[in-house]
Amino acid sequence: TWGPLVGGVGGGEQLPFSALEPSQSEGTSDHMQSSCASSYMDPQDWQVTLLPRKERGIENIEIQQFISKKADLLFSQSWKTNVTIVKDGNEENENCYAIMPPLEQFMEIPGAERRELFFRDIERGDIVIGRISSIREFGFFVVLFCLRSGVVRDIADLEITALCPLRDVPPQSSHGDPLSYYQNGDLIQAAIKDIDRYHEKLSVSLHKSALSPSLANTKLGVISSEDLPVHYRRSIDVASSLETYEKVLHNSLGFANPAVVEFLGSKLGLDESSPPSLMRGLQRYINSNLTEK
């Protein structure tokens, strides 16, 4: 487990995340804010957490049976490729492939379920985008509305708030308050640093060190509306229309790209010269002329 997300406030006192939530109304008194800052949660109370999906045990019997039957093919050396998979959080080429809004947007999934899925799948190093809602002496709060990396989900209406502590705000100069550079309403792109899945709390950072290696070139900090991901801008357009997922897909410029399969294959690191298959029949004749016919 990890301890309280913010430290060094009030003479070294460690504050829990729950004590630092932004006020829900502008009329909150100083007394209420000071009482929140004085509360304390023992780090041991944070030990009950929901494990991310990749750390949970597989309970699906069909998946277990499939892995058991296909183990020799799934873990075969022939699947390995020398193709380098390149990931860039800023790379969205809508001319090469169809960039779609989150599928959830077309499925009328309740907000509670979408929120649960978000906290299930979010990982450290993922890039999120939001708007500053409150600035305090210990950092600022951001209301998230989309993701740039990881599992893209429809979260714009969920009011998910993340804290960016003061220590995770890079200074703009050698002197002065780092927070003076920011103001309410700024669009912020940040990296997920800490996650409390049980209490649904997030901490983000503007330091490059918080990014995963594959996203190291991603800009963090204040961004403009032109920097928003294509999938989010497209989701805004779809929200005001009655178009189906299929229609949006077919109307996407990249969907008609004749080389879309080759492009996405290279993004996934698939080698077309010797494509692997889980069909044993194709494995048997993989080197024969039958496959060419």
pLDDT in tens, 205-215: 999 998 888 88
pLDDT in tens, 84-117: 545 555 456 767 888 888 888 898 889 999 999 9
Asked which of 207, 227, 247 is the last residue of a domain, the reply is 227
CATH number of the domain that residue 111 is part of: 2.40.50.140
Average pLDDT over residues 217-224: 90
Examine residue 173 and state whether it is found in any structural domain, yes or no: yes
> In this structure, what DSSP letter does residue 8 have?
E
pLDDT in tens, 7-48: 444 444 444 444 444 444 444 444 434 444 444 344 344 444
What pLDDT, on a 0 to 100 scale, did the predictor assign at position 212?
Answer: 84
Number of H helices, E strands in the chain: 8, 8
User: CA–CA separation, 19 vs 7, rounded Å?
Assistant: 12
Quickly count: other Cβ atoms within 10 Å of residue 196's Cβ. Answer: 20
Residue with tokens 């996650």: 195
Alpha helices (H) in the chain, listed in sequence order: 30-38, 61-69, 71-74, 111-121, 230-239, 245-251, 260-267, 280-284
Sort 107 into a burial class: Cβ within 10 Å, 0-12 / 13-18 / 19+.
exposed
Are residues 201 and 269 both part of a single domain? no
Are residues 113 and 210 both part of a single domain? yes
What pLDDT, on a 0 to 100 scale, did the predictor assign at position 132?
Answer: 95
What is the percentage of the chain residues whose pLDDT exceeds 90? 29
Examine residue 252 and state whether it is found in any structural domain, yes or no: no
Are residues 222 and 261 both part of a single domain? no
Average pLDDT over residues 254-281: 76
Examine residue 195 and state whether it is found in any structural domain, yes or no: yes
Are residues 121 and 199 both part of a single domain? yes
How far is C-alpha 75 from the geometric centre of its chain's CA atoms? 28
Are residues 278 and 210 both part of a single domain? no
What pLDDT, on a 0 to 100 scale, did the predictor assign at position 26?
Answer: 43
Are residues 285 and 205 both part of a single domain? no
Are residues 202 and 282 both part of a single domain? no
Are residues 131 and 217 both part of a single domain? yes
What pLDDT, on a 0 to 100 scale, did the predictor assign at position 283?
Answer: 61
The number of folded domains in the chain is: 2
Structure tokens at 218: 């991603």
pLDDT in tens, 44-70: 444 444 455 455 554 678 888 888 888
Look up the domain containing 168 and give its range. 103-227
Examine residue 264 and state whether it is found in any structural domain, yes or no: yes
Structure tokens at 75: 């873990």
* Average pLDDT taken over every residue of the chain: 75
Are residues 270 and 192 both part of a single domain? no
Residue 287 has pLDDT above 70, yes or no: no
Q: How confident is residue 163, by pLDDT bands cut at 50, 70 and 90?
A: very high
Are residues 222 and 270 both part of a single domain? no
Which of the pair, 277 or 247, is modelled with greater confidence? 247
Are residues 177 and 116 both part of a single domain? yes
What pLDDT, on a 0 to 100 scale, did the predictor assign at position 191?
Answer: 93
Quickly count: other Cβ atoms within 10 Å of residue 81's Cβ. Answer: 14
What pLDDT, on a 0 to 100 scale, did the predictor assign at position 195?
Answer: 93
Are residues 111 and 220 both part of a single domain? yes
